[in-house]
Amino acid sequence: MANDKTRRFSSIIVDGVAQAPSRAMLHAVGFDDDDFKKPQVGIASTWSMVTPCNMHINRLAEDAAQGVDEVGGKSIIFNTITVSDGISMGTPGMRYSLVSREVIADSIETVTGAQGFDGVVAIGGCDKNMPGCLIAMARLNRPSVFVYGGTIKPGAGHTDIVSVFEAVGGVAAGTVSEAELKVVEDTAIPGPGSCGGMYTANTMASAIEALGMSMPNSSAQEAVSEDKKNDCRRAGAAVLELIKNDIKPSDIMTRKAFENAITVVIALGGSTNAVLHLLAMAHAANVELELDDFTKIGANVPLLADLKPSGRYLMSELIAIGGIQPLMKILLDAGLLHGDCMTVTGKTMAENLADVKPYPVEQDIIRALDNPIKKDSHLVILYGNIATTGSVAKITGKEGLTFTGRARVFESEEAALTAILDDTVVKGDVVVIRHEGPVGGPGMREMLSPTGAIMGKGLGKDVALITDGRFSGGSHGFVVGHVTPEAAVGGPIAIIETGDSLTIDAENKTLNLNISQEEIDKRLSGWKQPAPKETRGVLAKYAKLVCSASEGAVTDKF
């Protein structure tokens, strides 16, 4: 296997008399002389004990390393960070969540570039480290395979993390006792793995598989399973074949592959965060993708999966009937996927799906194409005098398709949550949470605490929420996020006043403040930019560099 083609990068690090010091250092970490002749594969592990999503990934990294070594490569495991959205949700710590995507991408790019790895296997198990891994792979453009850490098992009584957030709202509403909340708290998270519904982690894992950057079925395996161990070993072996055949992310992460990813996300009822992350991943891959592409593709793709948060089932139940591969086969046969896209198997999407068996007849998790939950996308891109450069709503149809109400304005998530829990927010309100965007947060926090409280209080159909922040994949209800331009840069969301009438119209894809343009212009003329919340450190750097959420909130768009 050893030749200049398979050792394009590592040969610069370890070959020749001048590189004796490099070899001396590597002897100390376990290299022998034969290893210097092998392709080197970096195994990027997102292991930490910060969160159950990633607590098992050190073992998976060892399985991937074994897969590399068994077929003639030399594996090198290294770590990057992760943070937990579920733990930091509703606190100032959540400001670091989206920022961590960039830190993760930068760190994987940094280690791989510095060490001269010929290929990469990256293992991610939480919301931001997955797109972070893919952004790094796209930038590096070296043969790479992504492995999903896997989903968590259901909690007692079919519960998950969103059950806990909604139970908090239930306590405030008087429908859940504190003793009942404690039971949910103690049993909803039974062990390792990512949050169990079609939230951001499972959404992004599915999107990455549809993109062609992970092995078939990688997105639909439980974290603690023999299937997941085998997935890691297969990924390790696969990256050696990609190196041998010089198949790089740029050969896989094409425009058509991103269209496949969007299609699968829509069919599954995936998270609004997919919009943000796919835009960012496409930017890293030098692929033209914009907000309106989600509308164009979504017009022809139905919502088929009855999965939480708006549906009934968890990812473990989808896994039991075959995962997402049969769904992809349905979409391919209907002409909704591009079958000629290359994947990390070295085969096309159509070739990978050729022998996939259909779902069992007696199942109601995935609907037939002629009996969809919604005939077009639940991810609705809205424009209007509040969102002149766009916003993202998650409308399954269960909430209704239009909502007009009176604005109740808050300058932070904490203030909004307090008002929801103490009954200040009432039926007919549109909660407006601003100064939570990428610049204004800084960091664009997710709003699962307020949306969970709204649902828990039984106001899901009676109260809407708009924000220049974003939502957890676990959020549902009449919610609109990613409102751009954000308040901190003078977007019209900054001049909404409590009592103003607002209309969200998912049918006409509009988001409007029901006052005259003259009044809007008058208010904007009096707007003054707020002082930055952070002046030092990572959040301040992020606020200086980050672009609009409608462009993926990336930090290298110069």
In a 10 Å sphere around its CB, with 0-12 CB exposed, 13-18 middle and 19+ buried, how is residue 427 labelled? exposed
Give DSSP secondary structure letters for 301-354.
Answer: --B-B-BTTTSSB-HHHHHHTTTTHHHHHHHHHTT-S-TT-B-TTSSBHHHHHT
**Cα dihedral 152, 371, 262, 382 in deg (nearest 10):** -110
Q: Report the DSSP beta bridge partners of residue 147.
A: 123
Of 232, 206, 69, residue with least CA distance to 145? 232
CA 541 to chain centre: 22
Give DSSP secondary structure letters for 395-417.
Answer: --STT-SEEEEEEEEESSHHHHH
Q: Is the separation of the CB atoms in 166 and 456 below 8 Å?
A: yes
**What CA–CA distances, in Å, run from 408 to 418, 420, 432, 464, 499?**
13, 11, 6, 10, 6
**Cβ partners under 8 Å of residue 220, min gap 6:** 151, 206, 209, 315, 318, 319, 322, 323, 324, 325
Looking only at the bridges linking them, the beta strands covering 501-505 and 119-124 are unpaired
Q: Report the DSSP beta bridge partners of residue 306.
A: none
Compute the C-alpha angle 440/87/487, nearest 5°: 15
Q: Is the separation of the CB atoms in 313 and 307 below 8 Å?
A: yes
Which candidate in 472, 475, 548, 550 is catalytic? 472
472 is catalytic: yes
Hey, what amino acid is at 105? A
Hey, what amino acid is at 260? N
Hey, what amino acid is at 480? V
Tokens in use for 283?
């930017």
| DSSP letter (8 states) at residue 482 | E
Sign of the CA dihedral running 343, 349, 352, 356: positive
Return the active site residues: 472
